[in-house]
């Protein structure tokens, strides 16, 4: 990274200003019955910047946000960038303990919250977290300063970027915690700028961007903010996800693109409206955050066409390590649906063995990355940072392999591997087989304690509507895996559940699933 300001690239703050200034009366945000134009968002952003500065916030101020989806969230994302704050999003479904841990670990001093939903939580966090000095609320509040009323006292001014450098920390995002205590990933302004450039270069956005946001704005919108602004598009925001609500908005607003996590797609595919709703306007469904069942992906392509676009990344190296284009979702090559696409040419990627050596072509190895997407490190965790950066590469913890056409396949997480009777079993491969069973809606595969084998393979399954648990169903699923992968990988047991717990970013929470089975064991798994 050059220390010469003459060679610094534009950062998110500069790109936001450029995007918001490009348009005026064109719609930028639809939420409920409210429509905000580019000018509206620009002016509310300016007022919020002034409000934040008036209470002493500036470059490097540690700030967290928790809110339901509401218009102010989008302007506040921009305002925090333009103030130079270091942001930490809190997931609306997280627990008090989770939030308190994050606030303390990130050193957060200011909490911005939605008073209509999270006032009680904000009060509890103020009691729990000594370093929390400021409470700002979207709307009137008994315990915090009314952020919107304060902002309204200021006259909108032209937007100005703060004095930030590419290597300054812009956010501290916490990992899902599926393999241990969440770690605070410090991303720099240059990381988000590089991610955005790769999105703009590679991602297949429609010509007219009408983007449906079905996930929390505080998390997902920041990643899509710049591309949508630069293309003169508009966000159409759901206040809560439901299949009927999703299909209604697509039909009503002729939505052209959206971003979904796989579990949302499963709910949509299982809805009766998946075959009756008018999806003809939808050009691109971006999906990622966790692996998607190839069988369910095939089902989606058959229903709605080749409109799926996959992205792969992680908090430590966000969103664009690999991308699978719409045309590569090819039903004549069904094996390809297990892939996450080709590695982006804008970073260096290498598959490496446990000793740090590059594996032979076609062999599986840990996905290791170099380049402009790499985090600065884990906050206050020098040992974990050194481990992640061992040998001069970022170790993602994902095991992958490349096929002869250069497509990347995620075999599994290194820490999710099951060792049963001395044999290695990758849960992802078993999950992909089980997902082909007609009764399986969702599935996770884990290792559970076994006195003979050390660990035994267990499947936890959510059945599709219309199917009921039975011994015959268990036997048919076990036989399916045995035929495809051999007896070692066939689940020794299968549990049927109503739902699978998710992490705050929508991934199946294998740690939570495992905990139910390892709680009485002397040895735990991460």
Write the secondary structure of 211-236 as one string of H (helix), E (strand) and C (coil): EEECCCHHHHHHHHHHHHHHCCCEEE
Residues with Cβ within 8 Å of 516's Cβ and at least 6 positions away in sequence, in order, are none
Name the nearest CA neighbour of 111 among 173, 66, 52: 66
Tens-digit pLDDT profile for residues 317-369:
999 999 999 999 999 999 999 999 999 999 999 999 989 999 999 999 999 99
Q: Are strands 394-402 and 365-370 parallel, antiparallel or unpaired?
A: antiparallel
**Cα separation of 439 and 437, whole Å?**
6
Residue 198 scores a pLDDT above 80: yes
Q: Are strands 308-314 and 317-324 parallel, antiparallel or unpaired?
A: antiparallel
CB contact at 8 A, 186 and 376:
yes
Residue 294 scores a pLDDT above 80: yes
- Res 175: pLDDT: 80
Name the nearest CA neighbour of 69 among 214, 212, 223, 285: 214
- Res 54: pLDDT: 98
Write the secondary structure of 353-367 as one string of H (helix), E (strand) and C (coil): CCCCCECCCCCCEEE
pLDDT band at 523 (very low <50, low <70, confident <90, very high): very low
Q: Quick check: do 10-188 and 241-414 share a fold?
A: yes
Mean pLDDT of 415-435: 81
Tens-digit pLDDT profile for residues 39-49:
999 999 999 99
Sheet with 454-463: strands ordered across? 440-450, 454-463, 493-496
pLDDT band at 427 (very low <50, low <70, confident <90, very high): confident
Name the nearest CA neighbour of 500 among 515, 512, 518, 517: 512
| E strand map for 360-429 | 365-370, 377-378, 394-402, 408-413, 418-420, 423-425
CB contact at 8 A, 29 and 235:
yes
**Cα separation of 347 and 367, whole Å?**
12
Residue 66 scores a pLDDT above 70: yes
Tens-digit pLDDT profile for residues 233-289:
999 999 888 999 999 999 999 999 999 988 889 899 999 999 999 999 999 999 987
Residue-averaged pLDDT of the chain: 91
How far CA 285 is from CA of 142, 213, 241, in Å, comes to 41, 11, 16
Q: Which residues of 302-335 are buried (b: 16+ CB within 10 A; e: fewer)?
A: eebeebbbbbbbbbbbbbbbbbbbbebbeeeeee
Residue 413 scores a pLDDT above 80: no
Token pair recorded at residue 263: 């579990």
Architecture of domain 10-188: 3-Layer(aba) Sandwich (3.40)
**Cα separation of 337 and 153, whole Å?**
53
Distance of CA 308 to the CA centre of its chain: 17
Tens-digit pLDDT profile for residues 76-88:
999 999 999 999 9
CB contact at 8 A, 249 and 222:
no
Residue 70 scores a pLDDT above 70: yes
Pick the most confident of 146-150, 170-174, 418-422, 446-450: 146-150
**Which residue in this structure is represented by tokens 């903010």?**
225
CB atoms within 10 A of CB 201: 12
pLDDT band at 2 (very low <50, low <70, confident <90, very high): low
Query: Of the given ranges (212-226, 365-379, 415-429), which has the lowest mean pLDDT?
Result: 415-429
Token pair recorded at residue 195: 């991610």
- Res 526: pLDDT: 28
pLDDT band at 525 (very low <50, low <70, confident <90, very high): very low
- Res 524: pLDDT: 32
Given the candidates 3.40.50.10800, 3.30.470.20, 3.30.565.10, 3.30.300.30, the CATH classification of the domain at 417-518 is 3.30.300.30
Residue 29 scores a pLDDT above 60: yes
pLDDT band at 372 (very low <50, low <70, confident <90, very high): very high
Q: According to CATH, what is the number of the domain 241-414?
A: 3.40.50.12780
- Res 91: pLDDT: 79
**Cα separation of 166 and 371, whole Å?**
14
Q: Where are the alpha helices (DSSP H) in 231-312?
A: 243-253, 262-270, 294-304
Domains of the chain, residue spans = 10-188, 241-414, 417-518
pLDDT band at 178 (very low <50, low <70, confident <90, very high): very low
Global pTM value: 0.84
**Cα separation of 29 and 524, whole Å?**
47
Query: Of the given ranges (67-76, 114-123, 323-332, 415-424), which has the lowest mean pLDDT?
Result: 415-424
The torsion angles phi and psi of 63, rounded to 5 degrees, stand at: -135, 135
Please, what is the end-to-end C-alpha distance for the chain in angstroms? 35
Tens-digit pLDDT profile for residues 489-512:
899 999 999 999 887 667 788 888
- Res 265: pLDDT: 93
- Res 520: pLDDT: 52
CB contact at 8 A, 482 and 488:
no
DSSP for residue 198: H
Q: What percent of the chain has pLDDT over 90?
A: 74
pLDDT band at 453 (very low <50, low <70, confident <90, very high): confident
Residue 396 scores a pLDDT above 90: yes
Would you call 459 helix, strand, or coil by DSSP? strand
pLDDT band at 168 (very low <50, low <70, confident <90, very high): very high
- Res 521: pLDDT: 43
CB contact at 8 A, 463 and 469:
yes
**Cα separation of 67 and 100, whole Å?**
16
pLDDT band at 487 (very low <50, low <70, confident <90, very high): confident
**Which residue in this structure is represented by tokens 């996770």?**
444
Q: What percent of the chain has pLDDT over 70?
A: 96
């Amino acid at each position: 990274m050059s220390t010469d300001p003459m060679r610094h690239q534009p950062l998110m703050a500069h790109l936001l200003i450029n995007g918001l200034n490009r348009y005026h009366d064109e719609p930028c945000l639809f939420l409920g019955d409210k429509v905000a134009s580019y000018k509206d968002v620009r002016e509310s952003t300016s007022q919020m910047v002034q409000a934040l500065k008036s209470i002493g916030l500036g470059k490097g101020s540690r700030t967290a946000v928790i809110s339901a989806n509401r218009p102010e969230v989008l302007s506040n994302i921009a305002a925090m960038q333009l103030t130079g704050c270091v942001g930490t999003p809190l997931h609306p479904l997280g627990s008090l303990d989770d939030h308190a841990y994050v606030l303390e670990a990130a050193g957060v001093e200011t909490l911005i919250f939605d008073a209509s939903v999270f006032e009680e939580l904000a009060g509890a966090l103020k009691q729990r977290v000594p370093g929390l000095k400021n409470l700002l609320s979207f709307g009137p509040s008994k315990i915090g300063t009314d952020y919107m009323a304060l902002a309204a006292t200021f006259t909108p001014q032209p937007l100005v970027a703060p004095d930030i450098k590419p290597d300054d920390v812009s956010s501290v995002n916490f990992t899902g915690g599926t393999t241990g205590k969440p770690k605070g990933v410090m991303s720099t302004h240059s990381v988000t700028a590089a991610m955005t450039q790769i999105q703009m270069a590679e991602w297949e956005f429609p010509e007219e961007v009408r983007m449906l946001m079905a996930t929390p704005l505080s998390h997902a919108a920041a990643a899509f903010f710049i591309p949508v602004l630069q293309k003169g598009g508009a966000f159409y925001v759901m206040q809560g996800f439901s299949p009927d609500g999703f299909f209604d908005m697509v039909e009503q607003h002729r939505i052209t693109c959206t971003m979904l996590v796989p579990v949302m797609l499963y709910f949509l595919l299982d809805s009766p409206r998946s075959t009756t709703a008018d999806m003809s306007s939808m050009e691109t469904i971006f999906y990622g955050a966790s692996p998607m069942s190839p069988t369910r992906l095939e089902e989606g392509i058959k229903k709605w066409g080749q409109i799926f676009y996959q992205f792969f990344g992680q908090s430590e190296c966000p969103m664009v390590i690999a991308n699978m284009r719409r045309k590569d979702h090819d039903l004549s090559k069904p094996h390809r649906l297990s892939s996450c696409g080709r590695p982006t040419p804008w970073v260096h990627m290498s598959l490496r063995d446990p000793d740090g050596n590059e594996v032979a072509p076609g062999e599986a190895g840990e996905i290791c990355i170099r380049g402009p997407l790499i985090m600065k490190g884990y906050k206050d965790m020098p040992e974990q940072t050194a481990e992640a950066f061992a040998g001069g590469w970022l170790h993602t913890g994902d095991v992958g392999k490349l096929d002869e056409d250069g497509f990347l396949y995620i075999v599994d997480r290194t820490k999710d591997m099951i060792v049963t009777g001395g044999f290695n079993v990758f849960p992802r491969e078993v999950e992909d087989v089980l997902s082909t069973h007609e009764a399986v809606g969702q599935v996770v595969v884990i290792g559970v304690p076994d006195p003979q084998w050390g660990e035994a393979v267990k499947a936890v399954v959510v059945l599709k509507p219309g199917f009921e648990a039975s011994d015959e169903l268990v036997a048919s699923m076990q036989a399916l895996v045995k035929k495809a992968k051999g007896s070692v990988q066939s689940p020794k047991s299968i549990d049927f559940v109503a739902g699978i717990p998710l992490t705050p970013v929508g991934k199946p929470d294998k740690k939570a699933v495992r905990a139910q089975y390892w709680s009485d064991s002397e040895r735990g798994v991460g």
